[in-house]
Structure 1
């Protein structure tokens, strides 16, 4: 399919872009220890540049080292020493006819004191962030003026580094956003009170930049136009009507473009939508802005596929499409679309693992952000191009879940002869269960990508085949990779587990046993339990979730928890935390309230166990006498998530 709109030239201010694809800012945490562009960051950027985007907006770039730190290895233009390395990579990017902007950023209250001089975090007012929960300092007028100066100084350094412009980060509840919003700005000086007062902060930043940068230097704003806080019970916040007013004021000021966004940390799933949200979920907000201003509009809109990006341009919804997670997952997204190789795109499945590891890894100083479907993302310098040194040597991969598929793909790229064997009639492993709850079909994309790549590489998959010692010996393999997966836990120690009414989540989701209009107890409230409960609710069942821990969903990543609980709120679900399953009986389940040590029979038609998965690895012992290169990966090694399975498959094949 051709995409004429997507690959049409376009203008932003003084800049002419070779196409309409903008790689938007996404924090990766891969600068060096001085927040300069080192080899890791350079390699990450250049793969996306060579992948065909028209413009790159660098990750959130620090302007203040003392009170404006979001992560230890965050890019920065707060000091002169950072100019040289930035200039070097900018020149390299320009050699590919790609424009590049820095996103100037100050987190305000949405950060942590331990990163910011161990002092209370700065904000427009002393209202702390409901997510970060840090003691918050209302900046004095003089401190506000100092930070304005730091934004201006960073923009000046950007010009010295040869950047084409800057984007002011006024979205997602960061400092500029905090000043614009009546939710976070209760000031009484000239930077608060009226709309004009709340607008003054960004106005003075822009005017300061224009005094130190020439008129050709592009200045845009990424802007939250609606904080979407109504579900939190908040009444006064930045709503779309006032967000549009901000856009119009920015246009009057002379801003070159607006990068439309929504949400703040306290409405996090609005700014980092999970898998269940569709492509185009922001369209109505974007359309309202597009109709209100005349300067170019950029927007990320859960775009994962070229056809949808093309449609946004055809519908005049945007002037440029913004890609964030999509080009982390596949740096060649643009060139594959241009060359009509859409089926080869490794599509982002919106699992939000990147945002989870932004907090757990990048902000905590443990390493770069991780992508579930692209193990090389942020680690391109650690994993350069594949060595094609397989020389046709035979490697048997047992199991065609995502770990086995990824291992087979990388081995084939390296010119090994790959024999991929799967005992089931369908590849995908646990994905064939995980895709069954409502709105989870994106998770299939990783399997579709792997299958397309294996077909391109000429790797055949042998299904419906049980691997035996004789089969392995017959091939005399150079190496064996065991990716035999896992199975749902069904403890034999539970009295009544043998009854027909005792089912696993797999049996329910794969509809080995169809349940409709039944009374069902789901035992376990991890992510699988919550999703199984939603699946059962969608089939008209009356659902109770039973959990031994003191709260439902404890340990589930917050975005997945909020998304799941929002979906379940549309049904009449009963929640029973602090409750233990004692036995399964013909009339129901015997439960014990752990807090009160009281047992009671709870009448249900079925008990569905969502207690996790155990490893299945029957072949490791017999392989030791056949081959001295044996790798156990994925759930067969240790039960985990998609990212771990893909990464283990990749690393085993890459390092062989």
Structure 2
């Protein structure tokens, strides 16, 4: 079905059994001493069993003093790291997987508290606009010291059984910092020719590993900083020249990427970005070099990976988040089971938890659609002990579907009761704003799995005590979700022109060419505002906090605000809604208490949500009653799925 994708390919003298490369993702599953322990070993094993051809191990530390990116980060900074690496590479080789380490130094894109509590190192003193750490311009001697650390890291990688090494020259890390005019204003030889640093690293590696040892590079070919108002940065024309110079010194491959932390959505694209969003930059590199090109390109589905190969855009397709969501992505594509793939929905929750948890050593990255990712040694499914016992799941939203899926895998007999005519719950609203169609994928996956597992779903069937008694369940799981509220203390709240987010999104294009006030600037408010604007409405967003989107994760905020910038939106902050009239609203500034009136044909409430979790109908039915998802705690896709997974797994 995908002949190009499953044709063997060559990188130097190495043969890859297919064209899929597992890209490195910082997962936080290494041991506290930076060795590959049981957790990381099992994480790798499951993806190797999923039939990837090549695995590039996560960003691997070469410097313990000034090159630390995360607490539980794999390292090749000491000889003691070799033996655990060798155990992992032996396992991967036994599964016909080619293995590279990705040698990494974060430079200025890290935090002082991880790096000897000293200023972070970089090519110059310019601090990272995201990390905002005091930054030390490395002396020439310090640069040479780090070059040797890269070389010794490569030696240990080779002794640990790796088939080659990849230099992390992307995303604004240290090598990228030296290559870019934005971050390199040095006056020594490493500034006079910004290519010198990476060239001397490659030369040093070859001295200790031999001329034939493969060295690849992941490279930011455009920092994409023009939207930030930056003029002097590394642009694609610079990236092309760097790639040509790398080819001239016999680089094994170029793994094309783009962006730095200060253009973060370009390197970790959110849900609104399309498959193939990097095609233009990749094309310009592929057309200018003859060495193998690997690239991620927001690939989520096998047909698009095949298209990239058919278009001669790449020689190998890089998959990162797609393999976090489904370690068997490749095998399922090879077997023609595309509908069985748990597709990454690009929600960026993995990157959110990388920042909030993993960097500080507070646990592995979390995947919103795959609760097992990074926890493969915890959730082993050795507990297939349901023995056909009936479990009633009330609600066919994501939490209810996930609970039923896991219960069925464990041998229980789940029966889902859904009061409406459709599965998916709140996803049937969340998919309405522009470019949110990927969110349907998780419903598609859950529905397909439930069908394969033979789970009974009773639509248009409200749960009643009588029905529960008739089913005589071993346990009941309440997954009834949440609902938007209309606060009773606001005068005029019951007027017909007042709508909740769910109500207005369900109207589709019926609401157009009106003056609409959206109350609340959380992510649902911002996305609803975009939907209204797309339909030709005039939109004002009113927010009580002193900043729009103050509680929205930064990637979603930047994406939403960038999309809203295409329209003429009025933002009013530090202001609360006081009264609603048929054609206007009364608002009050929470700081100076000034009251004003603005025109509004419709008012959309994006402010209050409460759980629906009436468990009284289970009284006297059974003792084992659990509440999951939004019915328990208002959250997001990840929390709904994870809470349901854990209850069903541990029942």
Report TM bin, short chain: over 0.9
- The 5-angstrom pairing of residues 480-559 of structure 1 reads 480-511=476-507, 514-559=510-555
Alignment of 1:356-375 (within 5 A): 356-375=352-371
For residues 555-585 of structure 1, the C-alpha deviation after alignment (integer angstroms, 9 at most, x for no partner) is 1000000000000000000000111100111
Question: What is the deviation of 1:387?
Answer: 2.2
CA drift at 1:386 = 4.6
Structure 1 position 624, deviation (Å): 3.7
Partner of 1:36: 35
Report the equivalent of 2:428.
432
Task: Name the counterpart of 2:209.
Answer: 213
- In structure 2, distance between residues paired with 1:218 and 1:176: 18
The 3-state SS of whatever aligns with 1:387 is coil
The aligned runs of 1:580-595 (5 Å cut-off) are 580-595=576-591
The 1-side partners of 2:211 and 2:480 are apart by 61
> What is the correspondence of 1:86-165 to structure 2 with a 5 Å cutoff?
86-165=85-164
Deviation at 1:226, TM superposition (A): 0.2
Distance 2:476 2:110 in 1: 46
Q: Is the CA contact 1:23–1:56 (under 8 Å) kept in the aligned structure 2?
A: yes
Does the aligned pair in 2 maintain the 1:508–1:514 contact within 8 Å? no
Find the aligned partners of 2:116 and 2:508 in 1 and give their Cα distance: 57
Out of 273, 280, 287, the position equivalent to 2:283 is: 287
Deviation by residue 1:530-573 (Cα, 9 ceiling, x = unmatched)? 00000000000000000000000001000000000000000000
* Residue 231 in structure 1 maps to residue 227 in structure 2: yes
User: CA deviation digits over 1:590-625, x for unaligned, max 9?
Assistant: 00112221101111101100014210012x133142
Partners of 1:167 and 1:435 in 2: how far apart?
39
In structure 2, the residue matched to 1:607 is 603
Please name the residue that 1:468 is paired with. Answer: 464
User: Using the alignment, how far apart are the partners of 2:95 and 2:7 within structure 1?
Assistant: 17
Instruction: Tell me, yes or no, if structure 1 residue 276 matches structure 2 residue 275.
Output: no
Contact 2:408 2:414 in 1 (8 A): yes
Report the counterpart of residue 412 of structure 2 in structure 1: 416
Where 1:555 maps in the other structure, the secondary structure is coil
Contact 2:487–2:608 at 8 Å: present in 1 too?
A: no
Q: Distance in 2 between matches of 1:590 and 1:514?
A: 26
CA deviations 1:246-275 (Å, max 9, x no partner) are 000000011000000000000000000000
The 2-side partners of 1:386 and 1:273 are apart by 36
Indicate which of 197, 209, 215 corresponds to 1:201.
197
What TM-score comes out, normalization by structure 2 length? 0.99
Provide the C-alpha distance between the structure 2 equivalents of 1:612 and 1:344, rounded to a whole number of angstroms. 36
How many pairs are equivalent? Answer: 651
1:71 maps to: 70
Post-superposition CA distance 1:450-509 (Å, at most 9, x none): 000111111121111110011111111011110000001211111101101111010011
Please name the residue that 1:645 is paired with.
640
2:451 maps to 455
Please give the secondary structure, in 1, of the residue aligned with 2:156.
helix
Query: What is the distance in 1 between the residues matched to 2:360 and 2:486?
Result: 37
Structure 1: tracts of 5 or more residues without a match:
none
Structure 1's consecutive aligned runs of 4 or more residues displaced over 4 angstroms after TM superposition are none
TM-score (norm: length of structure 1): 0.98
For 1:633, which of 628, 638, 642 is the aligned residue?
A: 628
- Distance in 2 separating the partners of 1:177 and 1:621: 60
5+ residue gaps, structure 2, are none
The residue matched to 1:508 in structure 2 has which SS?
A: helix
Match of 1:317 among 299, 303, 313: 313
Q: Which moved more, 1:605-614 or 1:167-176?
A: 605-614
How far apart in 1 are the matches of 2:619 and 2:286?
Answer: 64
Cα distance in 2, alignment partners of residues 603 and 28 from structure 1: 50
Alignment of 1:623 with 2:618, yes or no, is yes
Partners of 1:159 and 1:213 within 8 A in 2: yes
Distance 1:491 1:422 in 2: 27
Contact 2:283–2:313, Cα closer than 8 Å, also in 1: yes
Which one of the candidate residues 374, 393, 402 is aligned to 1:378? 374
CA offset digits 1:128-158 (Å, max 9, x no partner):
0000000000000000000000000000000
Whole-angstrom CA distance in 1 between matches of 2:310 and 2:383: 42
Deviates more, 1:506-515 or 1:83-92: 506-515
